[in-house]
Structure 1
Amino acid sequence: MSKSLFPKLPLRIRIVIAATAFFMAVAAILAVLIAISVRDMTNTATSIDDARARHAATAAISALQEHLSATARDNTVWDDGYEHITSPEAKEFSDTTWGRSTKDNPLFDASIVVTPEQTILSSYKKGEEFDPTDFFGSSLADLISHAKTSGRVPVVSFARSVDGLALMAAGAIQPYDQTVASGTSFHTLVLVRLLSTDTLDEIEHTFDLDDLSVSVTPEPHMLSVPLNDADGNTLTYLQWESRDPGAMIYNRVSGYLLAAALVLVAFLVAVLVTGILSVRMLQRSTDRARHRATHDVLSGLLNRAGILEQLDKAIATDKAGLTLHLIDLDGFKGVNDAWGHAVGDELIKLVAARVQSYLPANALFARLGGDEFAVATPLDTTPDLAQTIVECVAEPFMIGGRTIEIGASIGTVISENDVPDALELLRRADMALYTAKESGRGKAVTFTAALDNDRHMAAELEDRLRKALERGEVQVSYQPLFDAKAGRVVGVEALAQWMPVTGRVSPEVFIPIAERSGLIDQLGMQVLKAAIDQARQWKTLALSVNVSPIQLRNPNFPADVIRLLEATGFDPHRLTLEITEGVLMSNPDQARRAIEMLRNVGVKFALDDFGCGYASIGALRTFGFDRMKIDRSLVSGLDNREGSEVLTATISLAHALNIPVTAEGVETQEQATALKLSGCDQLQGFLLGRPMSGADITALVRVSAA
């Protein structure tokens, strides 16, 4: 068959195609079998549980009817009751024995006594007299009619009432041992139990049913059993939600099924990519010398020299212009650190092969070095190529039994004969790539002239920040931390503020600039020193200071902090350094060493912004944080039930690990109250106090103490 389909293809290529087709067919068969098995399993589980629920509901109704029937029989087949009901004191006896007891009787909610002449002798509901004819309508007369012929067995049926559905039991009041003349007419006792919410709740609890309700017509998606009147006609339905255990089972195993599918897909992709690489290696064997000079050894792609040479040729000869995509892998360093360079190299090859499979035939594809790639195509050949590459790289890779996930950021430049050479084209693409990574990674950004302006502005702002640090222009403000129970100030968080004459610059702007330019160590130590000098005046307040991940990666940082504490005489136990989980993920070993050195002298550590990233329970245990600050996004989510439950679970996790919890971003009294009830021991936010000067904190402490 392969000879007829691929008569001109080499044997190795035909083998690869045949093997790939075989694996894909096996994968399809396995997927169908698994899908059928999961469907049958979930449907069977749901059917079994629905049958159990219907049986339980039927048993609940029968138990309710039997219970009321037994109560009615005990009160109707009764010698003393018959003597009293046929005496002149019948009215008083009925009111006392059955009527007034309905006020708090757990067995029935209403009682009605009907004379042999079909007149109402006594009628009470919840301890009060009422008109049963208006309340029950014709249902009462029908039930009494059936009770006349039922002998000593009360008639039990459901009936509609003004207050909703009711269960009624009616029986003739007659002696137990005495004999009566044939044809004697008896008084009739009717006991009523209303199907109230409490009754339904009792049935739910006793018979393990959920969300019971009564409906004239059962809803299509609900399970139900009919409730009949004395004539056997269906009055209404008792309905409840199906637990659908099949869906629960599916949800529990869906993650494993998805993982299995991803592994299978990754395996097939690996087989396909391996075949493509094998074919390309055979095709390139005719010119190995030039290949080594202009191609990357690891990936087989053009290298930096090769792409620059091809771009210069394209710029010189192709007047229509071209598009260059500069690709940088997100998370590749973490793969190298975690699994070693061998896995990293394999990943580079898989990425190259996968991206190559999405490129047009006339594209130039190169690995510039490390985890950086470049793709050049004629202008407007594939307008959405950048986004396609981002999406394909985001799909998981399978290497040595490991599932590895990375991403890609892309900088794109479009050249229409306005670029003099390949180096300038590459520079512009690099600027766009830098912007893509700065804006959150996993994105594609196209170069515009504004990016050049932005770079100049960033450089200018960096120079101004350097001079501001030299002149000590960066100030510190303090946001108070309040004890959730006592409502008093127990600490402050130091915040850097830069307000040059041109106007305030947000920390979200100048702190990333300080990190990129290497000024963060100088800025951080200036803020820490200013905060310590100010906090020395507050004898009882704790001091919290944010630490950049870059600061913690500096081996000299712990020693610098210790020297500052010794020089100022500040108690290290009052100082808490707040770090984000990014430190733990990027360089855990250095972070652990720095934390241990500072903790040995008494400095505390808080995990900041918990809940907005991926911090694990293992990290919390490993680093032994003294405090957890939950992110403001969890606090703002208190407005809905899901957000409230997530926040409560987060606080419970912290308490289980014996870590105190501080909530930041508290803006409303409702949030403050909910956080206090949830177990937060410290609160921070605009509701309680905005960032302020040291003098304002001093005044606030006096007010708080008072």
Structure 2
Amino acid sequence: MNARFLLPRRPRISSVACATLFFLFVGLVLTALMTHVVGTMVTSANDIDDARATRAAQASISSLKSRLSGVLQDNSVWDDAFSAATGSDPVGWAYENWGKTSADYPLYDAVVALDQLGKPFSAYLDGQPFDPLAMFGIAFAKHIESAAVAGKPPVVKFLPAGNRVFLVASNAIQPFALEDQPAYRHPVLTMLKEITPEVLAAESVQYDLKDLRLAATEEPGWLNQSLRDANGKVIGYLSWSSQRPGLALFKLVQPYIYAAIAILLVFLTGVLVFGAVESKRLAALAAVAKHEATHDSLTGLHNRAGLLLAMSLVQNARADDGLLTLHMIDLDGFKAVNDAWGHAVGDELIRRTAAAITNLHPSVASVARLGGDEFALVQRGPTLTDLDDAILDIFRTPFEIGGRIIEVGASIGTACAIALVEPLEILRRADMALYRAKEDGRGRIVRYDPALDVEREHLALLESDLRAAIASGAITPVFQPLVSAVDGSMHGVEALARWDGPRGQISPEVFIPLAEKAGLIDALGRHMLVTSIAQARRWPDLYLSVNVSPLQLCSPDFSHMVSTALETEGFDPKRLTLEITEGVLMSNPDQARRSINALKTIGVRFALDDFGCGYASIGALRTFGFDRVKIDRSLVTALEEKSNGEDVLKATILLAIALDIPVTAEGIENLHQAQILRAAGCDQLQGYLMGRPMQAGEIDIQLLEQAVLGGSRVKPLSRGSRES
């Protein structure tokens, strides 16, 4: 029976709780709306005034240009000025009419008169002679050149002079009746107005620009209007502070807003207090219901639902790599006790047994009664053989109940698994081992072995299903990313086999050994290789890694099969990496070497999987010429233990580096592990932290995101089941 049917229905959420959530939602929505409205009003008022100020600054600049241009027009389009500039004594006339007035004239600070060749013959700044070419450089000469043609409006530009900025206006000196004059280069009159703090102060008052000033660069937090020279280059900025009328308006209504918020907070506090009281009451009811749903009423131990929950908690806690052992205990001879002495004695025997097996060992995480005379112990970490012996020792001494001597025995079935295996599957395995223990004569301990599955689940039928699945393509690849340890970008993927069989998803731990035992591994390997290559062709920038069974590698036609698959699919052999385990190096090294050498000749790469947990020698690594090694996940998991796990891991990586073999680390589940492995010298990382096994379409999305973001997405690992 599924455990979920054993759980009673939770108490319904009361109408008060619903009302609490509703009023909280309404209150939060009102707060958000009010905040948005006020913020929008303040921001809009500020933006409107800033736009007005920007237009005013532009108008101020236009006004300065217009005033200087008007004065220049009056002085340059003048018959007397033209006659003097082209006469025999232009210097004296220019000084009396222009140079002298530069000392105190409000509309300009400097006047420069240039002859028809563009050479200044009169230049005065604040009533004193000066050299405009030395002051402004080549930019001044280009400016004059553009104004030497008569009949055009004055040329007005900003020019820098060191840390000073001048508004420079130039126009050809010409008679009023220009049509009577021949077309030639005219003398030029230039008037300059320095942009001084006094000038800006006057503009600030006139155009309502607060704290208007000239700055070399944009003032952070201020409003800015650029000033450009004749070439369009920015030579400075007019900067002024925003008056922020929206903020002033906010300060006027601020007391009323705070009052409204205070009232709303009082209201919400009342709703929360009432809701908390109601939630506490419901939580108490839920706790009682949960205890009743997960505990046995006779012994107080967990029942089946509680046992499954306890197993899940042990797995999710990741203690000892999520490893747990389930001990199933069945009392031998209990039915005879019930029949002989009645159910009252039987119930007392059950209670005595429950008390005896509780707290047998610190590694026992949970004790359960599964019904009748069946018990279970959940043990964290590796299996302890003396724990089962201790259980049997309990029943070697008879129980004394009501003056009666009661002798019963026990049969024990155990199953050990990591977090990849579902609790129900572990329960089934332990139950199968218990069944075998009772079949073998009782009073025995039987540990779960995959062979029990073969016998009980009709190996022939499963083999037939597997054969059909390979033929029909029901076994499909998923892909787990292989990412760079340097920048987190995806460099490759590992193809992993998945099978949704007729009776549900079948673990690779089951069907791959079955394929090896049934002689189907070559067909399965060929199918996985061809299918993976066909899907990986869409990722031309990724390497593809495929696991190879030792039986496949030792097959005489293995290299030919791989070569044919690559040629048929048009797949670059240099993109393919075949991963093999250490065992094949010892079981059949000669054939393995022949297959490896044949495939390496065409560019296929080889990686040694599970490196560091076996017995591969340095000589073997050199002999077989591996292109990469993959650190066994047990070494990565050991980083979380307070032992020398980190030292062992680093030593293993250093060995590979010393042999000049790149290192991949798999089974990475958190940033702490990734940082240690990256610092130790791993250049490639794999694990749930980088990405779970996924369909080809999901890899497409990952690559698209990587192309857009310029890197890979690295996500923290959720507390779920481990990878397979």
TM normalised by structure 2 equals 0.36
